[in-house]
């Protein structure tokens, strides 16, 4: 690709929750944003029924990954572990300051004042996790969208492709933008074959949706972002609407801590994004320009 490659160098020793020791082989642009990560703190109770209960992963741990990758901005997402308790995410959001935004989990019963307080703290969306979540149902799609529309927030969705495929009409009438994380949970084998893939592509083309190229190892049959089959899937989304695609590490990889997947190498994840974009300008757009537009960061200066 035309983006500048650089020699690998060692990352800080003892990198928590990330395989490998090398930095990305690609020059990461200034103001690059990791649009999907979680923090965990055992000092806060897990929600009843939570299936993922990984070890503590702090902002101090995550800053080491930022140093390794060369990213600056971050989007913190309340994980399924805590249900609708956003305190762990909000504490981390405060620690990262103006370079961070948050995606909360709510049940819709919050007052306007409570939602306004979340906005003031940097929250810009809510997540409805119908894959591993313990707080939410598909019936909440429209009520949640109505509650957050006035704030200009988006609705981030995670669900099975079969469930997603049945929601085309509903998603098109929502008064908010939809953000699909983790490749919309569509596997490479389903690319071009499952109706959910066609729906996501259509929503991207219609400027009704965004998609996170995050958690590639979650949808890969080989449980690795190095899976060559991910390339065509990633490019299908990039081709559909390059202005609506962002990237996320999915740190600290809770499913890996649970032994469900091998621990990913986050530098390799960044290099795979470079492979998929194949162009320095598109690489920058996914890491800098698109996150600035979606999450309301200051416009990038494009000075590097």
In a domain, 105, yes or no: yes
CB within 8 Å of 64: residues ≥ 6 apart: 11, 12, 14, 15, 16
pLDDT of residue 164: 96
Instruction: Judge whether 280 lies within some domain.
Output: yes
Answer yes or no: is 260 within a domain: yes
Cis, peptide link before residue 252, omega less than 30° from 0: yes
Within a domain: 120: yes
Q: Is the dihedral of CA 29, 35, 37, 38 positive or negative?
A: positive
Q: What is the pLDDT along the chain (304 residues), one digit of tens a residue?
A: 444 444 333 344 468 999 998 999 999 999 999 999 999 999 999 999 898 899 999 999 999 999 999 999 999 999 999 999 999 999 999 999 999 999 999 999 999 999 999 999 999 999 998 876 556 789 999 999 999 999 999 999 999 999 999 999 999 999 999 999 999 999 999 999 999 999 999 999 999 999 999 999 999 999 999 999 999 999 999 999 999 999 999 999 999 988 888 999 999 999 999 999 999 999 999 999 999 999 999 875 554 4
Residue 2: what pLDDT?
41
Tell which residue, 156, 146, 136, has the closest CA to residue 115.
146
- What was the pLDDT predicted at 212? 98
Q: Name 75's bridge partners.
A: 101
Please tell me the predicted confidence (pLDDT) of residue 91: 98
Quick one: pLDDT at residue 235?
98
In-domain check, residue 14: no
CB distance 248 to 35 below 8 Å: yes
| Tokens matching residue 172 | 């098109």
Report in angstroms the alpha-carbon separations of 242 from 33, 207, 232, 245, 253: 16, 11, 14, 6, 26
The DSSP annotation for 204-225 comes to: HHTTSEEEEEE-HHHH-TTSST
Q: Is residue 121 part of a domain?
A: yes
Residue 16 has which token pair? 């928590």
Query: Does any domain span residue 238?
Result: yes
**Residue 3 counted as domain residue:** no
| Residue 196: domain span | 33-295
Q: How many domains does the chain have?
A: 1
pLDDT of residue 134: 55
Whole-number pLDDT of residue 294: 98
Residue 94: C-alpha distances to residues 55, 75, 97, 182, 205 (Å): 21, 12, 5, 25, 35
Query: What's 203's domain CATH number?
Result: 3.20.20.140
The residue to which tokens 């569509």 are assigned:
186
């Amino acid at each position: 690709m035309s983006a500048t490659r650089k020699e690998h160098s060692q990352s800080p020793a003892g990198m928590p929750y990330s395989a490998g020791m090398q930095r990305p082989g690609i020059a990461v642009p200034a103001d690059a944003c990791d649009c999907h990560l979680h923090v965990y703190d055992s000092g806060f109770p897990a929600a009843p029924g939570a299936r993922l209960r990984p070890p503590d992963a702090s902002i101090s741990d995550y800053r080491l990954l930022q140093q390794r990758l060369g990213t600056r901005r971050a989007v913190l997402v309340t994980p399924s572990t805590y249900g609708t308790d956003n305190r762990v995410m909000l504490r981390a959001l405060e620690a990262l300051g103006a370079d961070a935004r948050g995606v909360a989990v709510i049940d819709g019963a919050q007052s306007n004042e409570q939602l306004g307080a979340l906005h003031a703290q940097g929250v810009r969306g809510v997540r409805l996790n119908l894959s591993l979540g313990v707080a939410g149902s598909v019936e909440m799609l429209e009520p949640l969208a109505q509650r957050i529309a006035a704030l200009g927030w988006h609705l981030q969705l995670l669900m099975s492709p079969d469930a997603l495929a049945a929601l085309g009409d509903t998603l098109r009438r929502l008064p908010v933008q939809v953000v699909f994380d983790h490749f919309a949970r569509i596997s490479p084998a389903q690319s071009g074959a499952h109706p959910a893939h066609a729906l996501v592509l259509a929503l991207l083309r219609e400027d009704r949706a965004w998609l996170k190229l995050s958690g590639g190892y979650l949808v890969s049959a080989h449980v690795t972002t190095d899976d060559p089959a991910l390339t065509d899937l990633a490019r299908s989304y990039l081709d559909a609407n390059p202005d609506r695609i962002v990237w996320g590490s999915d740190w600290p990889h809770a499913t890996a801590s649970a032994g469900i997947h091998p621990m990913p190498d986050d530098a390799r994840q960044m290099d795979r994004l470079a492979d998929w974009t194949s162009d320095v300008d598109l690489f920058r757009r996914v890491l800098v320009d698109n996150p600035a537009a979606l999450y309301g960061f200051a416009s990038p200066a494009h000075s590097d």
